[in-house]
C-alpha cells in the first residue's frame, strides 16, 4: 500500500468514526472487505468528495437525468479490479443497499445511475481491456470498454475484420451487448449477441463465472436479457466477422416535393428483402421547405458491404424508386464507415473512435415499435401529418430480414426475428433544462406512439430492451413484482422468453438483489 493510499484510508476511517451517515457501515465493509486484492478507498467517491459531481456526470448521457432535482447516489465505486466488484456486491447485500451498475451511461432512462431509493453506483469504466485474436477471429472485451474502442482495436490488427454492433462509438459494451445490440451489419450477421461465445459475470454470491461454470441458461439470459438483472458482467468473448477492404455508404434525402410517400412505401415493401449486405435505414423528420412551410423529409443513411458498382446494380433492380446515383456513393474502409455514419467529416482519423466523449449531449426520450406489415400510402400520409403537427419527434426505421429472419426467436432472449419488416425508434431531443419542458417533449413522443398503434405489432405490442422505455411498465420490486414485471417483460421478450428469463432469475438471484425499474422479476414465493 502506497503512503498516499494509507493516508487516504486513515482519513476516510477517521471521518467515518465521527459520521452519522446511516450507510457508514457499508463504507467500512468495503474498505475492510476480505475479498479485496487491492485497496478500494481510492475508488470510493461520496458527495463530500470535491470530485463527486464530475465522476457522477462523466457518464450521464441523457441530460434529463442531470437536473438538480434528479436523485443522486449515496456514493460511487469506480471499481479498479475484480475484487472491488465482488466486495461491492457482498457489502451491498449485507447492508441492504441498492446497487446500480453503469458501463457507458447511454441507457435511455438513466437506470444505471438514478433511483428513488437510496443507492450507490458501481461504475465499470475502468474495465476496458480488449484482447483481439485475429488468428481465431475472436476478442475478449470488458464491459466498460466502448464500441469505438473495440472497433479501433480490431482495425489495428486487421483491415478485413469487424464486429456487428452499434453506430455510436461511445456506447459501453456491457449494456449494449447484454441488451441485444444491433448495428448496420445486422442483416448480414445478426445481432451483437448472436456473435457472443463466452462471458464472465460476478454473481450474487461474489463468484466469478464463465460460460462453462455459469451454465447455458444464465449465459443465454445475459446475451439479450439484460445483464444487470443477473449479476455484474465483467467481459464478453465475441466472434469477429469478415468485412471487405472497401465498403460503400450513401445518404439520400427526399421530401414531400420528391415523392417521399412513394419512396417510403416502397422501402417498407423491400427493405427486409434486399441483399443481406445492404442496410438502408429510413429516418423521418420535420423540416421547412423552400417556401418556409413544414414538410416531411425522409433520409436514407446506408451501408453496403461491397463496391459501388455492385450496389448500383442491386438498387436499380430492387429499389429504383430511391433514384440512387453513383455520385451519391462513397467507398471507404469499414471503420471509416462507422465514423461517417456518426456524422464525422471525411478522413477523420480512426483514432477518433477512442474518444469516450459523445459529440453532443442533449435531453432525450426514446421509444420503440415493430412493423410487421407494410404501411399504406394513406397511412404514411396520416403519420406525416401527425409528425408535422407535433414537430419534434423523429421516426427511424431500422430494416430487418436477412440473417435476422433466419435465427430462432428463442435462440436469445431477444425474440423479434422473422416476420418483422423493421424496428421503429421514436426520438425527441432538446437542449433546454427543466422538468416542465422535459414533460412536454416526452409527451410528444407518447402522442406519436399512440397515433402509430394501428400500424405496429399487437398482442403484445413489442419493444426493444436497449431502447429502454419506462412508459411501457415499471416494477416497484415489491410483493407485486412478478405481475408488474410481466407487463413490460412480454413486450421486450414475448411470453416464452420472458418466462425462461424469470426462471433463470429465480435460480441465480432468488432474493432479487440485482433489480431496477424494469429488471427481470423472480417467481412469486408460492411458485418458487
Name the grid cell of 508.
441465480
Long-range contacts of 27-36 (CB under 8 A, 24+ apart): 27/75, 29/87, 29/90, 29/91, 29/94, 29/95, 30/77, 30/87, 30/88, 30/91, 33/83, 33/86, 33/87, 33/90, 33/91, 35/83, 35/86, 35/87, 35/90, 35/206, 36/83, 36/84, 36/87
The 10 Å Cβ neighbour count of residue 507 is 16
User: CB–CB of 269/374 below 8 Å?
Assistant: yes
Distances (CA, A) of 182 to 46, 163, 398, 400, 414: 36, 10, 10, 11, 11
Q: Comparing C-alpha atoms, which of 192, 80, 185, 178 is closest to residue 139?
A: 192
- Local structure of residue 146 (DSSP, 8 states): B
d(CA 20, CA 32): 19
CA distance readout (Å), 120 to 35, 47, 316, 520? 19, 11, 56, 20
Catalytic residue among 59, 108, 151, 467: 467
Rounded Cα gap, residues 386 and 452, in angstroms: 10
CA distances from 384 to 263, 358, 393 (A): 13, 30, 11
| Residue of 113, 106, 109, 118 whose CA lies nearest to 78 | 113
Category of 226 on φ-ψ map: left (φ > 0), alpha (ψ -120 to 50) or beta: left
Distance CA 183, CA 167 (A): 6
**CA separation for the pair 53, 483 (Å, rounded):** 37
Q: What are phi and psi of 192, to 5 degrees?
A: -55, -45
Catalytic site includes residue 74: no
Q: How far apart are CA 225 and CA 521, in angstroms?
A: 12
CB atoms within 10 A of CB 201: 27
Residue 51: which H helix or E strand, with range? none
Cα separation, 301 vs 322, in Å, equals: 12
Q: Which residue has the cell 457482498?
A: 90
Q: C-alpha distances in angstroms, 465 versus 76, 109, 116, 369, 523?
A: 25, 11, 21, 11, 20
Q: Where are the alpha helices (DSSP H) in 391-480?
A: 403-406, 435-451
Which sequence positions are flagged as catalytic? 467
Amino acid at each position: 500500500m502506497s503512503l498516499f493510499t494509507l493516508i487516504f484510508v486513515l482519513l476516510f476511517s477517521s471521518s467515518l468514526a465521527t459520521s452519522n451517515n446511516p450507510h457508514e457501515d457499508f463504507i467500512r465493509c468495503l474498505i475492510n472487505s476480505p475479498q479485496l486484492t487491492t485497496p478500494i478507498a481510492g475508488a470510493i467517491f461520496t458527495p463530500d468528495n470535491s470530485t463527486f459531481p464530475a465522476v457522477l456526470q462523466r457518464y450521464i448521457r441523457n441530460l434529463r437525468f442531470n437536473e438538480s432535482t434528479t436523485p443522486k447516489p449515496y456514493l460511487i465505486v469506480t471499481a479498479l479490479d475484480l475484487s472491488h466488484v465482488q466486495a461491492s456486491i457482498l457489502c451491498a447485500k449485507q447492508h441492504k443497499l441498492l446497487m446500480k451498475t453503469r458501463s457507458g451511461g447511454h441507457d435511455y432512462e438513466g437506470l444505471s445511475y438514478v433511483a428513488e431509493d437510496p443507492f450507490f453506483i458501481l461504475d465499470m469504466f475502468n474495465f476496458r481491456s480488449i484482447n483481439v485474436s485475429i488468428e481465431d477471429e475472436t476478442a475478449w472485451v470488458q464491459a466498460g470498454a466502448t464500441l469505438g474502442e473495440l472497433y479501433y482495436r480490431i482495425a489495428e490488427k486487421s483491415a478485413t475484420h469487424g464486429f456487428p454492433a452499434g453506430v455510436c462509438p461511445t456506447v459501453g459494451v456491457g449494456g449494449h451487448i447484454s441488451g441485444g445490440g444491433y448495428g448496420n451489419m445486422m442483416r448480414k450477421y445478426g445481432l451483437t449477441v448472436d456473435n457472443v461465445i463466452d462471458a464472465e459475470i460476478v454473481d450474487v454470491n461474489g463468484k466469478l463465472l464463465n460460460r462453462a461454470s455459469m451454465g447455458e441458461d444464465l449465459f443465454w439470459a445475459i446475451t439479450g436479457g439484460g445483464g444487470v438483472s443477473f449479476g455484474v458482467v465483467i467481459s464478453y468473448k465475441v466472434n469477429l466477422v469478415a468485412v471487405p477492404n472497401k465498403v460503400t455508404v450513401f445518404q439520400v434525402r427526399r421530401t414531400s416535393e420528391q415523392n417521399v410517400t412513394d419512396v417510403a412505401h416502397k422501402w417498407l415493401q423491400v427493405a427486409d428483402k434486399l441483399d443481406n449486405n445492404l442496410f438502408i435505414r429510413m429516418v423521418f423528420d420535420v423540416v421547412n421547405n423552400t417556401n418556409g412551410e413544414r414538410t416531411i423529409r425522409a433520409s436514407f443513411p446506408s451501408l453496403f458491404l461491397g463496391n459501388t458498382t455492385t450496389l448500383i446494380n442491386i438498387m436499380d433492380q430492387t429499389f429504383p424508386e430511391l433514384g440512387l446515383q453513383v455520385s451519391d456513393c462513397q467507398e471507404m474502409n469499414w471503420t471509416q464507415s462507422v465514423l461517417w455514419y456518426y456524422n464525422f467529416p471525411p478522413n477523420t482519423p480512426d483514432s477518433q473512435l477512442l474518444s469516450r466523449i459523445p459529440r453532443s449531449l442533449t435531453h432525450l426520450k426514446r421509444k420503440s415499435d415493430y412493423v410487421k406489415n407494410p404501411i399504406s400510402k394513406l397511412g404514411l400520409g396520416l403519420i406525416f401529418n401527425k409528425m408535422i403537427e407535433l414537430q419534434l419527434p423523429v421516426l427511424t426505421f431500422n430494416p430487418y430480414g436477412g440473417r435476422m429472419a433466419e435465427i430462432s426467436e428463442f435462440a436469445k432472449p431477444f425474440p423479434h426475428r422473422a416476420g418483422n419488416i423493421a424496428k421503429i425508434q421514436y426520438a425527441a431531443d432538446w437542449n433546454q433544462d427543466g422538468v416542465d419542458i422535459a414533460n412536454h417533449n416526452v409527451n410528444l413522443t407518447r402522442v406519436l406512439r399512440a397515433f402509430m398503434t394501428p400500424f405496429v405489432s399487437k398482442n403484445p405490442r413489442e419493444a426493444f430492451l436497449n431502447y429502454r422505455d419506462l412508459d411501457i411498465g415499471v416494477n416497484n420490486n415489491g410483493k407485486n413484482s412478478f405481475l408488474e414485471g410481466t407487463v413490460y417483460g412480454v413486450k421486450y421478450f414475448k411470453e416464452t422468453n420472458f418466462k425462461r428469463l424469470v426462471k433463470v432469475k429465480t435460480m441465480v438471484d432468488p432474493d432479487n438483489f440485482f433489480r431496477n425499474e424494469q429488471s427481470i422479476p423472480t417467481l412469486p414465493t408460492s411458485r418458487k
